[in-house]
A and B are shown apart, each in its own frame.
Chain A
Amino acid sequence: MSMPGQSRASRPGASGGSGPLTDAASLSVYARDASHLALGRPAAVYLPAGEPELRAIVRQAARERRPLVCRGAGTGLSGGALPGDGWVVLGTSRLLGCGPVDPLGRTVTVEPGLLNERISALARPSGLHFAPDPSSQSAATIGGNIGENAGGPHCLRHGVTLQHLRRLRWCDARGEPAGTGRGLPLERGFDLVSLLCGSEGTLGIVTSADLKLTPDGRSVATLLAVFPRLDDAVSAVVNLLGSGLLPVAVEIVDQAMLEAVEKAFAFGFPTDVEAAMILEFSGAAEETAGDAARAADLLRRGGARDVQTAADEAERLALWRCRKKAFGAVGRLAPSYVTMDVVVPLGRLPLLVRDIQDIKARWGVEIATAFHAGDGNLHPGVHYDDTDPEQARAAHAAADAIIARALELGGSVSGEHGIGIEKLHVLPWMLDAESARLHHEVKTLFDPQGLLNPGKLLPAPGASFAPCPEPPESVDFQWESLTARAPASACLADLQSAAMDRGLWVPLGAWLPRPAGSWGLATAGTVGEAVADLVTGPVLGGSGSVRDCLLELWAVTGDGRRFHTGAPVFKNVAGYDFTHALCGSGRVFVEMQAATFQLRPCPAHLGIWGLKTAGGVPLDWPALEPLLRRLRERPNQPGPVCLVDLEAPGGGTLIVTAPGRDTDWDLGALGRLVGECARQAGLECTAQAVVPFRDGPTELAARGLLPGWAAAGSDWDLLGLPAGAADPGQNVLPVRLRRAVLQADPWLVWTPESVTDPAPWFADAVCRGGRAAPLPRPAEDVPAAYLRGLKRIFDPDGRLETPAWLEEG
């Protein structure tokens, strides 16, 4: 879209092009945002039209030592985008570039000013969408979403913004361009994506992002349940998720919020009930219908007066419109409000809801609440009249009381909105002193002059910080909260086994053949190894990496200081995300002490299909490629993991394995697809079985399907295609391997053969002799100075491993 230069000239003080705007109107408007907070009046506003211009503005601000704040659409609620007196405001609303959607790689590259909702609109023709959907998504920019690590209702199943970033291009405090690596789903190293995402513009400015897109559900079922009692509604969510159902979203709106929404949209919600719940299932038609029926039954038994299914797409969209615009509709309740975004472990949600009732009574305030209930995340809004100082005082005291209570229950001060300036006073309540010190050191490393959004996010030095919580000494399951805490030394397989007894697991079943011929976790024997090495095998039944199911971390720096980061909750944007940044960083920066994982419903079954050519004709790649491509496109379900062994006796074998919930519509359908693909490729099916998921590895060996793999040895290389490098559909394999394990989504290849980088593919020698290999050299766009600086912060004396590339320079 073209942008006008001339029209701006009609505003006095506005020069042509992209600024600076210094007129009174600009300085007044850009001093405010959706947070209702105030900090100061900027000196100038810039709206750059391209990345070079953006960097020039940052360079100039650095030269003039002028603080700078980046702003998207100004929909943030914690004051993160507010300027102080004399600052420069850098608006991204004209950075609207966007690359073509890559339907096979499921990615798209976008500039920061693009509106969140627009991304899904662009991806829709490819059957994809951008899953993070903050309620402000119609106006909020992706740049702002990344800065705050935004969530949204549909993050329950799909994860928050961080889990949808493959790679970032950013500009540092000096205005220099930088990247974050190759965008491989299992890229080992200190993860700058995790560090920058949610850093509220205090470390760097994102100039473009490679986003992960999510396949649309083939069918969607949206339920509306009304509960006479709010307590029942909240308890029903805990029971529902504990029963093994995983909706894409579970939202609750309480009575006060219902009234506001009804005034705004006249949807026809009953206002005589304490809560309405919106639930959404997505997947295969049989799956959503079955899940919706089971959920409706559970909810009715849990106290729902009425459960209805949205009749059509229009009704579904109307429901979501009511929910998503609820926060704007609160303007109908009172002129001012303070909205929180606390999050607690799911099992503690009923306790917090009860306590909020007490707080309400004690402070004599009105509170309306919308819940991302499945996440344990809630937005209690305390309403008041800001012309009455007494009311304002009570409202803020009640808000602090709610936050304090959420922390006592093991939660976080912020699940979505960020710290900004709004929660600076409560952040120390949950950070330990060591973690706070690391925050400041990292900030100084990236922004030595303190010019990038100063005074935001960082805990005040000298504040009274929380004590570092004690790490768990043994595996500790919180079944109602769907979390598992474990010391680094705990055996991951034991943890998984105990979880599977309850129909749950940590979705990182990384399986590679072991030297002994059996199957199991390749190198990630312990929890600590899994976290440090990012689990170096194909993820069967999951679709991400350890980073996606890690919630909380205890670690020790090289000089022996223990710190704690994260929280046992599904969303957390309080401070820098060291939890995910350190995950996969090997043993270079810290030593892992303990971790908390999120538990998910475990697949019930594993489908196994063994294929080979007829009549002893050797199996070859040209025959396999179209087959693998089609299996990869299997929509909505976790992609299969395929084992190719061209050395196997009798001309080579292909083994397809896939997790499934059901033997009929799920694995049955996949079986038919495998059969059809095999016929087309001239292959015959020699084995076919559906076995209990957890017995998969032993079953494969017991059926004699892996004769050649025992000889494969214990060295493994991982091959991956960097984000945006090429169409992965055209590159099933970069080199003609004889033995390979292929993971469909994301597309990764493990091989026991030693491979060097076959450009544009990247090869990582993940496993040598059964142990994790040293961290690979990072991509060239990752500034080495920052990595060396991080090493100095976390391991000042160099007592931990130091790869050769980190010592250079």
Chain B
Amino acid sequence: MAPAMTDGMQTELRTLLRSCVQCGLCLPHCATWLATGDDVQSPRGRLILLDEILGGRADAAEPSFLAAFDQCIGCRACESACPSGVPYSLLEYGQDLAFAAAGSPAGWSSGPALPAPLIRRLSSVRFLRTAAAAATLASGLLRGLLGPGWRTRLARAPGGLGRLPRLLGSLPRSPSADEGVVRLLNGLIAAAAGAAAGRVEDPSPSATVGPESRVASPDILFFRGCANEGLMPGTSRRLLDLLRRCGCRVDVPQGQACCGALAAHTGDGRGREDRHRRNREAFGPGPAPADGGPWILVEASGCGHELKSVPGELAGEVLDATEILTRLSLPPLRPVPLKVAFHDPCHLRHGQGIVAEPRRLLRGIPGLELVEPAEPEVCCGSGGAWGLRYPDLSGILARRKAENLAATGADLVVTTNPGCLGQIAGALADVAPGLPVLPLTDLLWFAARKG
């Protein structure tokens, strides 16, 4: 049950709301508006609804209002786009207000595609690990049984069966073994060389990244994250490998928990606070010491956004992996003559404001051509648990994202968030079969590996 809002909070909200001049410039950046063309499902529309409630012109329990708030992915693309600097996070308060008035726990009243208890389970590390293994197995089996195009065929199946491909598609399938990554990338490089015979390759063997503040041997505390640890165990190991080769001392604190984002997604405030507490215990309670303390490295941007959301909570500076890697002296990188498109996870781009770092890392790889897709700021429709609850909207957005990525003519898509990775891989399998998605750190590891 969401807490009731005090009069003081309502007044503050009203003041914040008035910074919206209703110009509408947020609309084309909003994933749900792009998918529906419906102004109710736009940031401005939702702010108008909030204004109606606060102004006493509408009942907060009105179901159509509730649904409009609930369908917001929370990607914050609107916040990046807004010229007036409207803090769209206030929509979350709108959600609270509406759900409190409706007398139901946030997020679960408007007919989501999957039952709430099942999605709650998704916050569990153990569940994710099992699901990942099962999904990989199931995808393989289904592909074997139904042949190419199995996803499309299955999606047409009636009832719950039709949802299976999306469920499976939302779980990443990047190679876990080192050899798998090497084989995939070598294959792509050979294919690209064959396709574009005569493409000039940069013969220089190495390049370094991150000119500004190189640290010889920094201390890094590694935040494991449940999703990527469960779903991309090889990737985390390769990132650790890369960091150690850069001269970092990396420690993985024991007893750390999920960042709490998934609990927050499901409206479970208490669960979120519990995980924050456990992480304070594992990493040491903040604020960080005067010298900045160790870097707390976060691999998945969703976790990074969550951990940074409470500044000074931990005894070190929380940094995304791309932020840390650009600050390090990387080992010599071998050429990767591929056209690569980077997909910005919303939690990285809008949540943490990190846009340049991943691109700088990619441009530092010799021979690599970085291509920019259209609509880089638009959400891929994964949105943590959101995609499972609104599979139709999520599917439209995944397809739109995949089409934009494929239109760049890239040989490879890289990203930094496991949720996006799975969502995009699933859609690319239909839109551009043969265009793989890899974690950015896997590509860097490949370029930096010995031998």
Contact = CB atoms under 8 A, between A and B. Distances in A.
A410 interface: no
Interface stretch (B15-23, B122-130, B220-228): B15-23
B39 A331 contact: no
Given A32-B48, A75-B23, A139-B24, A93 B37 contact: yes
Interface string A29-54: 11011101000000000010000000
Contacts of A29: 39-40, 44-45, 48-49
Contact of A24 (B35, B44, B64): B64
Contact of B84 (A12, A13, A21, A328): A328
A136 interface: yes
B19 A8 contact: no
A139 B84 CA distance: 15
Interface residues of A, number: 54
A74 B27 CA distance: 10
A47 B48 contact: no
A331 B21 contact: yes
B64 A26 contact: yes
Given A28-B52, A136-B24, A121 B374 contact: yes
Given A331-B20, A335-B19, A2 B396 contact: yes
Interface in B26-79: 26-28, 35-40, 44-45, 48-49, 52, 57-58, 62-65, 67-68, 71
B37 A329 contact: no
Which residue of B48, B49, B68, B84 has the most chain A CB atoms within 10 A of its CB atom? Answer: B84
A4 to B, nearest CB: 5
Interface in A220-249: none
Given A30-B39, A75-B24, A330-B21, A10 B85 contact: no
A556 to B, nearest CB: 43
A93 B39 contact: yes
A726 interface: no
Nearest to A261: B83
Interface string A515-554: 0000000000000000000000000000000000000000
B85 A332 contact: yes
Interface in B2-19: 18-19
Given A4-B393, A25-B67, A28-B52, A36 B85 contact: no
Given A263-B85, A325-B83, A330-B21, A7 B35 contact: yes
Contacts of B399: 2
Nearest to A385: B18
Interface in A1-23: 1-4, 6-8, 10-14, 21, 23
A8 to B, nearest CB: 7
A505 interface: no
Interface in B133-176: none
B400 A7 contact: no
Interface in A321-340: 325-332, 335-337
Contact of B58 (A2, A24, A73, A332): A24
A93 B115 CA distance: 32
A12 B396 contact: no
Nearest to B399: A2
Contacts of B20: 331
Interface in A396-439: none
B84 A264 contact: yes
Contacts of B65: 24-25
B113 to A, nearest CB: 9
A11 B25 contact: no
Contacts of A7: 35-36, 71, 390, 392-393, 396
Contacts of B28: 115, 117, 138-139
B18 A335 contact: yes
B254 interface: no
B86 to A, nearest CB: 7
Contacts of A121: 374
Interface residues of B, number: 45
B35 A4 contact: yes
A113 interface: yes
A95 to B, nearest CB: 9
Contacts of B52: 28
A634 interface: no
Contacts of A33: 22, 24
Given A29-B45, A74-B39, A332-B85, A11 B23 contact: no
B364 to A, nearest CB: 19
A179 interface: no
Contacts, number: 150
Contacts of A36: 21-22
A94 B393 contact: no
A13 B85 CA distance: 33
B41 to A, nearest CB: 8
B84 to A, nearest CB: 3
B37 to A, nearest CB: 3
Contacts of B18: 335-336
Interface in A94-149: 94, 96, 113, 115, 117, 121, 136, 138-140
Nearest to B32: A7
B82 interface: yes
A329 B281 CA distance: 43
A136 B25 contact: yes
Contact of A4 (B26, B40, B68, B396): B396
A696 interface: no
Interface string B326-340: 000000000000000
B68 A25 contact: yes
Contact of A91 (B37, B49, B110): B37
Contacts of A326: 83
A11 B83 contact: no
Interface in A54-111: 73-75, 91, 93-94, 96
A433 B26 CA distance: 42
Nearest to A263: B85
A655 B390 CA distance: 66
B23 to A, nearest CB: 4
B393 A328 contact: no
Interface in B348-389: 374
Nearest to A75: B24
B311 interface: no
B38 A12 contact: no
Nearest to A387: B18
A265 B80 CA distance: 11
B111 interface: yes
Nearest to B389: A10
A328 B83 contact: yes
Contacts of A91: 37-39
A73 B67 contact: no
A136 to B, nearest CB: 7
A22 B19 CA distance: 29
Contact of B83 (A2, A94, A329): A329
Contacts of B392: 4, 6-7
A222 B85 CA distance: 27
Contact of B64 (A25, A73, A115, A332): A25
Contacts of A332: 19, 84-85
Contacts of B49: 25, 28-29
Contact of B71 (A2, A10, A117, A140): A10
A192 to B, nearest CB: 28
A23 B26 CA distance: 23
Contacts of A3: 35-37, 396
A12 B67 contact: yes
Given A4-B36, A94-B37, A264-B85, 15 more contacts: A7-B396, A11-B68, A14-B64, A24-B65, A25-B67, A32-B48, A47-B38, A91-B39, A136-B24, A139-B26, A264-B84, A327-B83, A328-B84, A331-B19, A337-B21
17 contacts: A3-B36, A3-B37, A3-B396, A7-B392, A10-B71, A12-B63, A21-B38, A25-B68, A30-B39, A32-B22, A138-B28, A139-B26, A139-B27, A330-B21, A331-B84, A332-B84, A335-B18
**Pairs A-B, 4 closest by C-beta atoms:** A331-B84, A328-B83, A93-B37, A23-B64
